[in-house]
Every structure is written in structure tokens, then in C-alpha cells.
Structure 1
């Protein structure tokens, strides 16, 4: 990549922005040091463990997210199908719902990320071994409380947040058929008119997106819309499910713009 292209891909961060990055990283580290011991205390005592949700919700707040919630995840448990804009989606959704996540198995190769993900009951899925997904999801589901949730990003990648990419029904194979008693619930993350400034798209490196958001001066308003769960007819199979969930989110987008 030439110098001009590199400058475009890696925009300069001001001195004030760098200071905000340092302060926010320090706050995140402090939060981690507080939450991890408490997580293990609760785990040893076999109590409902709120600390992953507290930690991730705190990460979202420190990063600048100001979260508004409409609706709620099903109290009997829900698989949430959400649009995907940035790494910030994960702490925002977890803070709002206590959700665990389905993640690509490549994250399990990164020691620190794997450790943090496992504390939040992340299901690691190898895309070439989809036959094992359902069993893995069932293992996580058994560990969730009756207000728990597991989130999948059916777009398969991040988008600019202005619309929706096609939903990949193959990513919903673990939900076909849906586990008994578990709602399949679309979620729309709405970052408002400033979404393009923080979305992770194009050739931008994940670290660059992370630092760009931490360097922001202005807060990031985000509304988490928990939409109506899919009906039995809309969960007939994974292709129908993907189409119905995407349409439900598109209708919510259209209703507010």
C-alpha cells in the first residue's frame, strides 16, 4: 500500500484524541481488574454471574456509547439476530441483554480475547464444521439464566449501518429447528445519523476502528431495538428465518427514517 492509501486507511488522531484513548484504555483496564475477581467469586459460589454483563456494559459506556433500549429480549430466553456495525455492538448488546455470542473460531486463537469470550459463554464456531454448531449452542443455552440470550450476526460481517446486507441463512443452521421454548428475536442497532463516522467497513483494520471510536470526543448515541420475536411460521426453516428477521429489521428502519 502506498503512502497516500495508507494515510486514507489510517487517519491521523489528534493529541486530544490520543489522550482520550489512553484515559479510556486505563478505565477499561481498571474495570477489568475489578470485575474479574468478582466473576470468579460468583463462579465458585455457583451464583448467577452478572459480571460479564456489567463489564461489557461498562466497556460500552467508557467507549462513549449512550444506550437507549426499546422492547426487551424474551424472558424465557432468546436467540437474537442483530445487524452488525462495529466491535462496539458486542458490549452494547451484552450490556443491554446479558447476551452471549456466536463467534468465529479464529477468535479462539487469540489468548486474551478467548479468555474474555469464554467468561461470557461465547460459542466458537468453525464455519467449515457447521454440523457441530447446534450442539455447541445447546451447551451455552443450558448455562444461561431464564433471562439469558445468545446473539448471532447474520450479515456475517459489519456494514455501514445505513441499511442491511443480505442475511446468510447458513449462519442460522444452529437454530434450524429452533430449540423449544426459545424465541428467535430480531434486533436493530441504531447508531443514528453519525453511524458512518464509527462503522467498521471497507479496508479499515479492526484496531484502527477500535482506536477511532476511543478517540471520539462526542458520545455515541445508540438505540437497541428488541423487535417482536418471529412467529412459528417465520421459523419454518433457516432460509425463511433469515428472510423474516431481515424484513423485520428493515421495517423498523423504514419506520424511523
Structure 2
């Protein structure tokens, strides 16, 4: 049994054993967290179990997290670069954040269900007629979850640089809702970024399995950069430009 992987690499037997053990552990964790999620649901808007599950997924996948900077604890709109599926459990596990995702994920029943448990907001990037409704959905999610993350590059990069940030994805921040802090977050995978990244024509499932097959841990540093202020918040374009500049400056260190 094999998967098409970059540079024609094949998963060795030991890798498949690691995949099997890690997926089984993730499934067991899900079976524990889902009943607890429903037990907590009537009593709180900030259900902790989806984020605890995602934190567990990151740990089971072999992710070793390091944190730099001060993260906003409530009312945070996080703008992060996007390298791999690992980004999502890592950010959620550390911040308790929900996410903004493109509506293509909603066509996959299992992924849609998991995303909805974590209060994901689905947006249709090419449906201009629904922008007002989508902006309202994002603002409601910010109020309900306390933290919301978007990947404004619009796709994944190889982790060694940064793609342009699409200001159109930040429409919900114009004008900026009261009490919301906009904070750039840089995900830094260090020298192994290219080995972790989901880029090119690699299938998402292949990237998922390739990470789970690794013997070495995945080292990931989350840099919580200074909250944007003043003229940086004038419009979605200034927000995108300021966030990208802060990320690039940190990546270049």
C-alpha cells in the first residue's frame, strides 16, 4: 500500500505503523471528546472540547510547540500564514480559536462536521452576492468564540516565505468591530518547513499521512506578533499590508 508523495518517496512499513497508531489514538480521542462536547453544550457558548481535541491531535501528530510573544486572550482576530493542516490544531490548541474556511470544505461531510463542532465560519470567496451575510457570520463568530483565525494568503505556502495577503478576505474588519484586536501570527517550521508544507499538486490526504508517518517530531514556533494599532487599522488593505510586513520581519530574523 502506498501513497503518491513528493519526489516519489514511499511510506516505509514503520511509517505505516506510526500512521495506524496515531489515527487510532485520534479516533479514540474523538470518541471521548464528542460526548463531552454535547454534555457541555447546554451550559456554555465557549465549549472547550473541540479545542482540547485539536490540541490532542497536534500532540499525537508529533508536533512540538514553542510560543513567542503575547497572545490576545479575548476578542482576537488572528491573521496567520498557512503551511500545512498542522496549523489548525496548533493554533486552536494554543488559543482556543475557531477558523474561517472556504466553503469547499463543507462539501466533505466528515470535515464539515468536525469544522462545525469548532464553530468554523464557511465563506464563499467567489460569491459576491453573499458578502454581507458572510461578514455578519464572521462578526458573530468573533463575539461567540472569543478568537477567530483566518489564513489571508488564501492557500498554503512552502513555509520559507510569505504569499501576498488577500485583503478581500478581511472584509469583516471594515469597519473594525468594537473590542476586537487584530493580531498577526507567524507559524515558523524552521529548516524543515519545506518537508512539512502542503504545496504543489500533493493531495491533502497525502500530506496528512506523510506527517503522521514521520519518526522525528515536527518543531513549530508560533510567533504572536504585536497587535495592530492606529493607522494600520484604517482599512482592510492597511491591515493586510501591516500584518504581512510584521510576519516578513519576523521570518527574516
Question: Could you say whether these structures have the same fold, taking a TM-score greater than 0.5 normalized by the shorter chain as the test?
Answer: yes
What SS does the aligned partner of 2:88 have?
Answer: helix
Matched, 1:251 2:252: no
Distance of 2:8 and 2:172 partners within structure 1: 37
1:139-178 residue CA offsets vs partner (Å, 9 max, x unmatched): 212312xxx3100101000000001001111111111111
CA shift for structure 1 position 232: 2.4
Structure-2 separation of matches of 1:236 and 1:50:
34
Structure 1 pair 8–134 and aligned structure 2 pair: CA distance change class (3 A): closer
Conservation of the 8 A alpha-carbon contact between 1:10 and 1:208: no
- 1:118 paired residue number: 116
- In structure 2, C-alpha distance between the alignment counterparts of 1:41 and 1:88, rounded to whole Å: 27
- 2:63 corresponds in structure 1 to 65
Range that drifts further, 204-213 or 135-144: 135-144
- C-alpha deviation, 1:133, in angstroms: 2.1
For residue 13 of structure 2, what is the aligned residue in structure 1?
A: 15
Q: Deviation at 1:9?
A: 6.2
The 3-state SS of whatever aligns with 1:186 is strand
Question: Does structure 2 retain, via aligned residues, the 8 Å contact 1:39–1:51?
Answer: yes
Match of 1:228 in 2: 226
Contact 1:42 1:48 in 2 (8 A): no
Distance in 1, matches of 2:245 and 2:6, equals: 35
Corresponding residue for 1:151? 149
Residue of 202, 205, 208 corresponding to 2:206: 208
CA contact under 8 A between 1:9 and 1:203: conserved in structure 2?
Answer: no
Aligned partners of 2:182, 2:37: CA distance in 1, in Å?
Answer: 28
**Distance in structure 1 (CA, Å) of the matches to 2:223 and 2:164:** 19
Structure 1, unaligned runs of 5 or more: 1-5
**Kept in 1: contact 2:25–2:60 (CA 8 A):** yes
Evaluate the alpha carbon distance shift between residue 50 and residue 216 of structure 1 in structure 2; reply closer, same or farther with a 3 A threshold.
Answer: same
Counterpart secondary structure, 1:221: strand
Task: Tell me the residue number matched to 2:186.
Answer: 188
CA distance in 2, matches of 1:14, 1:99: 35
In the alignment, the residues of structure 1 paired with residue 133 and residue 45 of structure 2 have an alpha-carbon distance, to the nearest angstrom, of 29
Q: 1:217 aligns to what?
A: 215
Corresponding residue SS for 1:75: coil
- How far apart in 2 are the matches of 1:211 and 1:92? 17
Deviation at 1:7, TM superposition (A): 6.8
Q: Which residue number corresponds to residue 85 of structure 2? A: 87
Q: What stretches of structure 2 of length at least 5 have no aligned partner?
A: none
Q: Give the Cα–Cα distance (whole angstroms) in 2 for the partners of residues 47 and 209 of structure 1.
A: 33
Partner of 2:135: 134
SS at match of 1:102: strand
Which of 101, 104, 107 is residue 102 of structure 2 equivalent to? 104
TM-score for both structures, normalised by structure 2: 0.94
Runs ≥4 in structure 1, deviation > 4 angstroms?
6-10
